[in-house]
Structure 1
Amino acid sequence: MEGETHRVLDASAVLRGGLGFEDEKYLMPSSVFREILDPLYIEKMQSLIRLNRLNVKDASKKSLTRVKEKAREVGDLVNLSDADLDVLGLALETGGVIVSDDYAIQNTAYALGVEVEHAFHEPIKQRRQYTYYCRGCGQRYMPGVTECGICGARVKRKTQKSSVERL
C-alpha cells in the first residue's frame, strides 16, 4: 500500500458504480462494508478482496478525532453518519482519494485537504461553512439543536456568506 493512491469508497460509490476503475486499489471502512446489503454488491466486493484490490480497514482514533473537529468547525458534523466519518478518517490517514456523492462528505473532505471524486452525481461546486440559528428570535446555536431554547421556534442551518469558497 505504500506509495500507491487508493480510492476510499463510501456506500454511494459502491451502489452507483464507483468500482469501475480498471486495476485500481480500493479502501473501505468496515462500517461501509456492513452497510452494503445487496448480495450482488457483496459478491463483487468479496471478489475484489480476493484479488487484493479492496482492503477493508478502519481509521485510527486520532484521524477520526481530527475529522470530527473539522466537521464540527464547518457545520457538517450533524449531517455525517459514523460510516461517513470513517470514510473521511481513512482517507485522511492514508492519503487516499474519496469516491462519494455525499455533499457533507465532500465539503468536510475539502476542508481537510482530502481529494474527492464523485461517483455519479455532480460534485459540490463550493466549499461552505454553516451556522445554526433560530428562525424566530435569531439566537445562534451549535449544530444538532433543532428547537430554540428561548422561543421554541425551529433552528435552521444557513451558509456563512464569508465562508463560501469556489472549487
Structure 2
Amino acid sequence: MVMMHVLDTSAIILRKAIYDDMVTVPEVVNEIRDENSKLYFEIKNIRVEDAREEFISEVKKAAQKTGDIYKLSETDIRVLAKALEYNATVVSDDYAVQNVAKKLGLKLEKILQKGIEKEFKWIRVCKGCGRRTEKEVCEICGSETRLKKVVKG
C-alpha cells in the first residue's frame, strides 16, 4: 500500500514533491508565487482538497495544548487537518507543524532541515514578574508576556 503524503508550501517550492500519492490544500496553492514552482506543482500531479472542519478543529485543540497555536498559520492548520483526515505523512520543515503532527500521532518527512527530536510546548511567561499566563499582558503586573519553549522529556 502506498502511503499518502500531505505537502506544505515549502515542499513544492523546494521541489521535494517526490512521492507517489500526494495531496495538499488550496491555501498552499495560493502561497505558490513563482512561475517555476507553479509549473513544478502542475507537472507533479498533486491533488488539491479542502481540509474538513472536524479535522481543523482537532488540529486547533492539539495546537492549543502544545502552544503552537501562536505559531501556526491557517495554511499550516489546514495541511495538518488534511494529514489527520487521511492519517498521512506530513511533509514540512516547519517545527511548529512537526510538533503538532507528533502530538497528533502523524508521521513526518523533513525537507532540508534536521527536524524536531522531541516534542515541545510553548507557554506564555511575563517579562516583568516571570509568572505563567495565557494572556499577552500579565494580569498581575501589567507587563508584556513572551512565548517560551519548554522541551518535553
The answer to whether the 8 A contact 1:98-1:115 is kept is yes
Distance 1:101 1:16 in 2: 11
Tell whether 2:42 aligns with 1:46.
yes
Aligned residue for 2:148? 158
Which 5+ residue runs of structure 2 have no aligned equivalent? none
TM (norm. structure 1) is 0.84
**1: distance between equivalents of 2:106 and 2:132?**
29
Corresponding residue of 2:3: 5
Q: Is the 8 A contact 1:74 1:108 kept in 2?
A: yes
Whether 1:62 and 2:54 are equivalent positions in the alignment is yes
Uncovered stretches (5+) of structure 1, i.e. residues with no partner: none
Aligned to 1:147: 137
Q: Residue 146 of structure 1: CA displacement?
A: 3.2
Write out aligned runs for 1:78-117 (5 A): 78-117=70-109
1:17–1:120: 8 Å Cα contact kept in structure 2? no
2:33 pairs with 1:37: yes
Find the aligned partners of 1:159 and 1:45 in 2 and give their Cα distance: 35
- Cα deviation for residue 111 of structure 1 reads 0.3
The whole-number CA distance in structure 1 between the counterparts of 2:33 and 2:123 is 35
CA RMSD for the aligned pairs? 1.6
The 4+ residue runs of structure 1 with deviation greater than 4 A are: none
User: Is contact 1:17–1:119 with CA below 8 Å preserved after alignment?
Assistant: no
Correspondence for 2:128 among 136, 139, 145: 136
Structure 2 residue aligned with 1:18: 16
Q: Is the 8 A contact 1:5 1:95 kept in 2?
A: no
Distance in 2 (alpha carbons) for counterparts of 1:71 and 1:108: 6
Shift of 1:139: 3.1
Instruction: Output the amino acid matched with 2:63.
Output: A
User: Quick one: which amino acid aligns to residue 116 of structure 1?
Assistant: L
Q: TM-score, normalised by structure 2?
A: 0.92
Identity %: 31
